[in-house]
Chain A
Amino acid sequence: MTTACVAGGAGYIGGELIRLLLGHPRVEFAGASSATLAGRRIDGAHPNLRGLTDASFTEPGRLPRCDVLFTAAPHTRAMAAVREHLDTGAVVIDLSGDFRLRDPGEYERYYGVPHTEPELLDGFVSGLPELHRAEIATADRISVPGCMATAAILALHPLVRSGLAVGEPRVDARTGSSGSGASAAHNTHAERSGALRVYAPLGHRHEAEIRQALGRPVRMTVTGIGAVRGVQVLCWTRLAPGAGPREVRAAYRTRYAAEPFVRVVAARRGPHRLPDPKILAGANFCDVGFAADEAGGEVLAVAALDNLVKGGAGNAVQCMNLRLGLPERSGLEFSGLHPV
């Protein structure tokens, strides 16, 4: 059976990767490393995994050989971690921001440090199946996009590809606290509960990913909210002359008709008219929807996802399935909960 390991398994994304791999019908979880919790049981850091594994974290560099290696080290530290594992022969799927941007100058501008492995950048394929399915199927190095970038790209891509969007889209993103990671010091309940913290009013690093994927500039604002999981993006852009709600709906319907994990949600009535991350916790879906003015106006594109699943670990497993030639939904069938 195919084996998979997680380098950097103590964080929230690492925990989600281990959870999904333990439940995967065609892939065997073979181990996880942690620089901070080596020797400790995995189900100590991730108590939802009690009874599912007796394994402990290994030291970095002591993972067993495997077919697929997920690297979930923090941004700016993943560069070195990935370099260490390139000679093992494993397919590397990186979940940090370190291999998402093609231009090392752009990386330094958004991440504040020079890229130490710029010669590796061209070898990575963007791990967004909805845009790069064919390349992922043959790639040995895959870089999974950021959670808010994934939502914004999937929200805007049908409009940009069909020529319905003109001008510079504006992305208003809202994110739950788990997006800050397991060790974020400012994420205490006292600080986060009930918050509407505009922590990146301009120039969030995911802005660069969206621009790279769509091929046009965007502006982005990010607000931290009180939820634990979930991302929602509201993306405003002008419509091409003559375009209205019917053309917009047709663009979304056509673009996502065959996608297993993107659902178009734009209902006229009921409480669930547009995408809401609340019902997506634990699921690999990205729901996208819209509201459009009549001809010549603006369109509001909305997307929602679980930042740890379709915005991270689930998307990475989807990439693994594609790379291994497995059914794309393998291990990712969970529908989410309602009510939750």
Chain B
Amino acid sequence: MITCPECEGRVAAPEEPRVHEIVECAECRSELEVVGLDPLLVALAPEVEEDWGE
């Protein structure tokens, strides 16, 4: 398990993680990018914001 850097929720780690792989936090739905393998590190993935209208 890894800890979501956004909400501190517990996120299941990929079985065979690769750098730049994306995982999703079930609690806050943040997309997390694998940035390191040993130890396993994730960071908030960059995202294109949705247009929420006027």
Interface residues of A in 268-283 (CB under 8 A from B): 268-271, 273
Which residues of chain A from 232 to 264 have any CB-CB distance to chain B below 8 Å in the complex?
246, 249-250, 253, 264
Complex CA distance for A183 and B8, rounded to whole angstroms: 48
A-to-B contact residues, CB < 8 Å: 246, 249-250, 253, 264, 266-271, 273
Q: Known contacts A269-B47, A269-B50: does B30 contact A253 (CB below 8 Å)? A: no
CB <8 Å contact, A270 and B29: yes
Q: A269-B47, A269-B50 are in contact. Are A249 and B7 (CB under 8 A)?
A: yes
Judge whether B21 is part of the interface by a CB distance below 8 angstroms.
no
- Specify which chain B residues have a CB less than 8 angstroms from the CB of A270 in the assembled complex: 29
Specify which of B6, B9, B28, B31 lies most central, judged by the most chain A CB atoms within 10 Å of its CB. Answer: B28
* New A-B pairs, 14, CB < 8 Å, besides A268-B6, A269-B31, A270-B29: A246-B8, A249-B8, A253-B9, A264-B27, A266-B7, A266-B28, A267-B28, A268-B28, A268-B30, A269-B30, A269-B47, A269-B50, A271-B50, A273-B29
Selected contact of A269 from candidates B7, B9, B27, B29, CB within 8 Å = B29
| Chain A residues within an 8 Å CB radius of B7 | 246, 249, 266
| Known contacts A246-B8, A268-B6, A269-B50: A253-B27 contact under CB 8 Å | yes
A-B contact list, 8 entries, CB within 8 Å: A246-B7, A249-B7, A250-B8, A253-B9, A253-B27, A269-B47, A269-B50, A270-B29
Residues of B bordering A, CB below 8 Å: 6-9, 27-31, 47, 50
Question: Chain A's nearest CB lies how many Å from the CB of B22?
Answer: 12
A-side binding surface: helix, strand, loop or mixed? loop
The minimal Cβ–Cβ distance linking B10 to chain A, given in whole angstroms, is: 10
C-alpha spacing A300/B6, complex, angstroms: 18
**Min distance, Cβ B49 to any Cβ of chain A, angstroms:** 8
Q: Tell me the bound Cα distance from A271 to B50 in angstroms.
A: 9
Question: B6, B7, B30, B50: which has the most chain A beta carbons within 10 Å?
Answer: B7
Q: Could you say which residues of chain A place their CB within 8 Å of the CB of B9? A: 253
Smallest CB gap from A246: residue in B: B8
A51 to chain B minimum Cβ distance, whole angstroms, is: 39
Q: Which residues of A contact B29 (CB under 8 A)?
A: 267-270, 273
CA distance A270 to B25 in the complex (A): 13
Q: How far is the CB of A62 from chain B (nearest CB, A)?
A: 51
Q: Which 10 A-B pairs have the closest CB atoms?
A: A267-B29, A268-B30, A268-B28, A249-B7, A267-B28, A270-B29, A269-B29, A268-B29, A268-B6, A266-B28
Report how far A267 CA is from B27 CA in the complex, Å. Answer: 7
**Residues in chain A near residue B6, CB distance under 8 A:** 268
Measured in the bound complex, the distance between the Cα atoms of B27 and A215 in whole Å is: 30
Chain A residues closer than 8 Å to B30, beta-carbon distance: 268-269
The answer for the CA separation of A81 and B47 in the assembled complex, in Å, is 58
User: Within 8 Å CB of B28, what residues of A?
Assistant: 249, 266-268
Give min CB distance, B45 to chain A, whole Å. 10
- What chain B residues lie within 8 Å of A264 (beta carbons)? 27
In the assembled complex, which residues on chain B have CB atoms less than 8 Å from the CB atom of A250? Answer: 8
In this complex, what residue of A is CB-closest to B8?
A246
User: What is the chain B residue whose CB lies nearest that of A269?
Assistant: B29
CA distance A253 to B3 in the complex (A): 14
B-chain residues with CB within 8 Å of residue A271 when the two chains form the complex: 50
